[in-house]
Structure 1
């Protein structure tokens, strides 16, 4: 450990002890004795934490996070990582969906190769344990989530460690930064997804922890106006071994992050500019030398991996910049206002702590170098705040914007927010004074709001895409073979009339015996400006005119439909998944999947087909894309599947309605012959039959009380039969259902 770090730790410990002593001797009459919870919290702050213990707790937390996410966020979560990884692990015969970016070598193979190893390991484990096909599928789906949970936990850990470096390891600010990343709704929603931005974020904050901040803090640092000056090594001195080792680790992590996402270089351009500006030429030469060595090493590994993945030499970062900047293909996927990151990006990242973050950024840029923080700590905060301003500003110049592009800034924003949050809520947590009761209420409200946002976005909103693929896997288990890996075996077929990439693909279909096709959205690669202006992809063509599209792009158009599913029609030739997916025009599938807003259109176009609804799953209550609104509906042509629970429920309701009509007619006819004290009771007495005083158990039927059947030993005798008959009422569900039927009939 360097002399500087030892002195900083000793100074931090002394400062913390003096602050604790000062607070313990405070004579504020409004302060009451701390509550047990506050005492335990204070003890936590005064106890040196175990890094390994904190990491294990974070891993357990993120595993729970990853395995409970049930919603769809971005197609890149699957199509830029899991689909190419599936192809590398199992081959093209499984028909993964490979997007145009991979066909034109725009993406680095390092990220998919990570999940390729995960898939291979999970597949080997499933074979060794001899798991059933259903359990094999669940293991292959859960494997990437588990790995990403560990990566997310590492990001949380390094956020806390960066806060420990910027402030003091045992300070409230450091614990506040850890609490912020743990309770962040965005972190719960996004950090465990297999997006390259999530790995980029963890790599960035880990690299920031290794960055030699003392080299860019000036010739010396001070701990305050009343404390002696702590000297830092001058520019003429060579860097010590510990700082140089940390710098090399930082460069390696930063280089990998830039390979994954070239826009990450904006972070390091700001920090490197400060570092070069505040050092002389000998130190600059060392910095350039180390950057070239570490960058060359990472580029060599990446180029070798790309050669293995693509089959030829290529350089994805250059092709990424060429296609997205020179050809402006990113605009094809949407344009945003110049203020998107200010008006939408940062509010989505920070949610309830946005006001505290704004004040924290202002405080970091305007605070004096002396006082509560020494010069080095103030310098680190200024540099982090500068990165948080410059990166969104630079990305705002690009037309296509997404909130996940600035996701790597979130750990730094949490670190800069921590002092403001600790100052405002710290006394309310560590003391039992009643004067801080309003702040406790505010804190409770913010925590409840975070929990609600996290739950809604990860369990409810846009939950249909994953649920419908789970349904298709279940149908394949009913109608397919028991071999999970042989694409030539019998299975099912599915077609997705949805905007492109609305659901995951082979990473969640899993079985190669699920032959599927979907509407594509290839960008206008190689077209001129006029051709790009008139270009419509396959999904746009369908939604512009569904009638015309189905007539031109489906086998038989809208006149010839198959009458039986493929798994019941042995005369139809069996196609391999790759052939079925790429064949045009498309085959009419066994299962047709679409959003509910398209249901009236398809009901009109397919009225002469054998398609009927067989499954419906909730998706979302609202959506910014009108094409994705409503439930996700599955139509099939198998009559047995169409007689599902939903269909049987409707048929049962119709039969009950007919029974009610017959009962009413019988009651009216019986009233002309004999009087009854309660003629209306026959309306709820069950199946229709002539009016009679015969009791249910006289016909060997079991007695029900409020819709609950009684066992035989509780069958009443003749003495109590009249008493029980007066208490025989239908259940609440039966009341509600029959009243609805009466309303519909009226």
Structure 2
């Protein structure tokens, strides 16, 4: 992992007392722009080759509203209840709206065939998302440069950790708001004026007079773009302020901020935040057609009404026992070691220069406070702590660079073996998570879209709209972002939350998917028309007509055979989905049965 030595020059984080860290190691100089281009090529390849499903928000909180804004309300987008209740900021989907409009105009101008147009519209959001993913990698490297020196082996290690991170390969190319939140957060941390705050700690003994003297001057200019990016992250994800409260609280508690400076910081944050909030309100006004404040609505729903737990409740210690491990995989031991050092504030025997020790302590406490605060929310997901991953990679970089330095590997051969095993583990996890686990629910969308393009568009054998029903847990697949064609008339089970109900009513509440899986056969008898007829029977118009294509998980296959026995339905497609799943309803292959299909 260490680069070729070019010139003797001590790095900011080098410590001659730690075996394996060479104070003379230096990287070949490369401009951030050049590095960004290479990282973008890498992440574009990454994004275009993600073939698996993770969470519905990747589509229903980004691409579905973006599609509707780009192509109109009748374009087939599924707008979920969060958008009807104004819980989400429009800033994130509007980015993809622009991409969709450009891609759609390009296809129309060239009068491209339906198949080609589909491929372009499928790829368009990934092309933009790769920019955010590459920026996350770049800013992780630059943040490490702020701490250790840009040409230090530690900065190189941080870059390698983020490039080889299985979580980055799995998640950074997906259109989650958490991904953009992570990019904005680490960019804000890079622009944060660290030297202004930790001035005077490079000497053996902390010089409080030097800190106070440096802060007699006006606030550094780059603080303002840092605050602006942080404010944008907070608008996107209303839990992001916890990171900045933790950061500024740690700086203040450890006397890196003089009392006289605090009012200036608060005023600057208020002014910058107000400008960003005004911009956000204007965008939401145009998007929703009325004056709304999504971050406030988000907190009111998730915290005030306590409805976040409707979509799952996790153990209090989930982030500590599982979350951090899933984020870091093979980098976990190095990050834990550095967090341990960072949380021991008063130990001058810690490795690194006084400045590195100070920054390590600030970042370690920021991570700890953020995770503790998020642990108090009942609904937990690993992606909620994703913005901490760049910080954790920067912290893990020092012990990783020391452990895998060529000198250390030559002295202890097992370290080279561990590097190979770690690299192989990352590669296997990244490949399995992006190419294998839960790919069936993506493949079925490609199958159905191609069925429409081949069979329902001239000169195909069928005419009219294609009908599809999904008897799966709600939001098990993407929607119009992968159907592409609004002429595909599809429906799926829903899972609307218990809005406006009392606490007692919420306890007994079952959404449509819950009712279905409580007794699938009864639900189909009650809610579906006569299976022997292609349309709803006369006098039973309130029931759904059986569609031409029915998609479901293998777990439901025995029930479907019982209910549809003797009907025209036949299996027409089956695709592998997963070897295992923690939701029993989603186990096995994805299966499609067809009726009225000209084989």
Tell me whether the two structures share a fold, i.e. TM-score over 0.5.
yes
Q: CA deviation at 1:493?
A: 0.8
* 8 Å contact from structure 1 (residues 224, 373) kept in 2: no
* 8 Å contact from structure 1 (residues 223, 230) kept in 2: no
Equivalents in 2 of 1:101, 1:17: separation in Å? 47
Equivalents in 1 of 2:123, 2:129: separation in Å? 10
- Of the two structures, which has the highest relative contact order with CA contacts closer than 8 Å and spacing of 6 or more? 2
2:244 aligns to what? 268
Q: How does 1:636-675 map to 2 (within 5 A)?
A: 636-641=594-599
1:91 aligns to what? 72
Question: How big is each residue's C-alpha offset from its partner over 1:598-636, in whole Å with a ceiling of 9 and x where there is no partner?
Answer: 011010011132111011111011111010001000000
1:456 aligns to what? 432
2:268 to 275, 290, 306: 290
In structure 2, relative to structure 1, the CA distance for the partners of 1:17 and 1:158 (3 Å cut) is closer
Q: How does 1:615-630 map to 2 (within 5 A)?
A: 615-630=573-588
* 8 Å contact from structure 2 (residues 496, 511) kept in 1: yes
Q: Does 1:108 align with 2:86?
A: no
In structure 2, relative to structure 1, the CA distance for the partners of 1:259 and 1:17 (3 Å cut) is closer
1:510 to 484, 494, 497: 484
1:245 to 201, 209, 221: 221
1:319 aligns to what? 297
* 8 Å contact from structure 2 (residues 572, 594) kept in 1: yes
1:528 aligns to what? 502
Matched residue SS, 2:572? strand
1:152 aligns to what? 133
Equivalents in 2 of 1:315, 1:384: separation in Å? 31
* 8 Å contact from structure 2 (residues 14, 352) kept in 1: no
2:446 aligns to what? 470
Q: Does 1:501 align with 2:475?
A: yes
In structure 2, relative to structure 1, the CA distance for the partners of 1:80 and 1:639 (3 Å cut) is closer
Question: How big is each residue's C-alpha offset from its partner over 1:179-219, in whole Å with a ceiling of 9 and x where there is no partner?
Answer: 000001011000110000000011100001111223433x7
Matched residue SS, 2:235? helix
* 8 Å contact from structure 1 (residues 65, 188) kept in 2: yes
> Could you say which structure has the larger radius of gyration?
1
Q: Does 1:340 align with 2:314?
A: no
Equivalents in 1 of 2:458, 2:233: separation in Å? 42
Equivalents in 2 of 1:19, 1:632: separation in Å? 53
* 8 Å contact from structure 1 (residues 464, 632) kept in 2: yes
In structure 2, relative to structure 1, the CA distance for the partners of 1:69 and 1:208 (3 Å cut) is same
Q: CA deviation at 1:14?
A: 5.0
Equivalents in 2 of 1:458, 1:428: separation in Å? 35
Question: How big is each residue's C-alpha offset from its partner over 1:377-425, in whole Å with a ceiling of 9 and x where there is no partner?
Answer: 3221111100111111111111111111111100000000111111111
In structure 2, relative to structure 1, the CA distance for the partners of 1:425 and 1:474 (3 Å cut) is same
Equivalents in 2 of 1:18, 1:65: separation in Å? 31
Q: How does 1:168-567 map to 2 (within 5 A)?
A: 168-217=149-198, 220-224=200-204, 231-232=210-211, 234=213, 237-239=216-218, 244-276=220-252, 278=255, 279-366=257-344, 368=347, 373-427=352-406, 433=410, 435-481=411-457, 490-556=464-530, 558=531, 560-562=532-534
Unmatched 5+ stretches in structure 2: 1-6
In structure 2, relative to structure 1, the CA distance for the partners of 1:165 and 1:13 (3 Å cut) is farther
Q: CA deviation at 1:495?
A: 0.4
* 8 Å contact from structure 1 (residues 460, 619) kept in 2: yes
In structure 2, relative to structure 1, the CA distance for the partners of 1:351 and 1:370 (3 Å cut) is closer
Matched residue SS, 1:388? helix
In structure 2, relative to structure 1, the CA distance for the partners of 1:19 and 1:297 (3 Å cut) is closer
* 8 Å contact from structure 1 (residues 224, 371) kept in 2: no
In structure 2, relative to structure 1, the CA distance for the partners of 1:409 and 1:236 (3 Å cut) is closer
Q: TM-score, normalised by structure 1?
A: 0.74
In structure 2, relative to structure 1, the CA distance for the partners of 1:348 and 1:19 (3 Å cut) is closer
Q: CA deviation at 1:638?
A: 2.7
1:594 aligns to what? 552
* 8 Å contact from structure 1 (residues 177, 418) kept in 2: yes
Unmatched 5+ stretches in structure 1: 1-11, 32-40, 484-488, 567-571, 573-582, 642-746
* 8 Å contact from structure 1 (residues 235, 283) kept in 2: no
Equivalents in 1 of 2:226, 2:316: separation in Å? 32
Equivalents in 2 of 1:203, 1:310: separation in Å? 24
Aligned length: 582
Question: How big is each residue's C-alpha offset from its partner over 1:677-706, in whole Å with a ceiling of 9 and x where there is no partner?
Answer: xxxxxxxxxxxxxxxxxxxxxxxxxxxxxx
Equivalents in 2 of 1:415, 1:323: separation in Å? 35
2:10 aligns to what? 15
* 8 Å contact from structure 2 (residues 534, 545) kept in 1: no
Q: CA deviation at 1:452?
A: 0.6
Question: How big is each residue's C-alpha offset from its partner over 1:491-512, in whole Å with a ceiling of 9 and x where there is no partner?
Answer: 3110000000000001101101
In structure 2, relative to structure 1, the CA distance for the partners of 1:424 and 1:280 (3 Å cut) is closer
Matched residue SS, 1:614? strand
Q: Does 1:603 align with 2:575?
A: no
Q: Hey, which of these two has a bigger chunk of helix by percent?
A: 1
Q: Does 1:612 align with 2:570?
A: yes
Equivalents in 2 of 1:513, 1:43: separation in Å? 64
Matched residue SS, 2:467? strand
In structure 2, relative to structure 1, the CA distance for the partners of 1:249 and 1:591 (3 Å cut) is same
In structure 2, relative to structure 1, the CA distance for the partners of 1:169 and 1:223 (3 Å cut) is farther
Equivalents in 2 of 1:200, 1:515: separation in Å? 34
Q: CA deviation at 1:478?
A: 1.7
Matched residue SS, 2:591? strand
2:142 to 156, 161, 169: 161
1:34 aligns to what? none
Matched residue SS, 1:517? strand
